[in-house]
Amino acid sequence: CSAGWESYDDNCYSLIKTDALTWMEAEGQCKEWGAHLVSILSQNEMDFIHDLLVQNEVFNTGTYIGLTDTDEEGIWRWVDSGQKAIYSYWEVRQNTYSEPDGSFLENCAVILLSSLRGHRSWRDVPC
Ligand SMILES: [Ca+2]
């Protein structure tokens, strides 16, 4: 991988801290680098990304991932491949209240980290 990028399982990852962007702006910035917002296809990959966020102390702020249901409400797809998400890590609260919960108002996904591994960390947000 290039400088500033970290490798995991044949892919390259970079955590970018910016001022507030829309999801589309963030994806556009990634494309300029020949990349996409991240897709996360397994728990192992999620664990790697969790560690990357912890190392960079990214708490209490959302980090966009490449997951959106803009094209078809309720059908979450990865932006790089267009594939439906099979693996997911949506937050669950009190067994009765789960993400994604924003319906048509929230069509893009972030990781919002607690310090605890095992705390499911994906939330849907406005794009
Ligand atoms: Ca939605």
Q: Give me ligand 1 centre to Cα 1, in Å.
A: 33
Tell me the whole-structure pTM to 2 decimals: 0.92
Per-residue pLDDT of the chain (127 residues), as tens digits, is 999 999 999 999 999 999 999 999 999 999 999 999 999 999 999 999 999 999 999 988 999 999 999 999 999 999 999 999 999 999 987 766 789 999 999 999 999 987 666 678 999 999 9
Distance (Å) from CA 52 to ligand 1 centroid: 27
pLDDT in tens, 90-117: 998 776 678 999 999 999 999 998 766 6
Q: Classify domain 6-125 by CATH number.
A: 3.10.100.10
Burial tier of 93 (Cβ tally within 10 Å: 0-12, 13-18, 19+) = exposed
Domain boundaries, the chain: 6-125
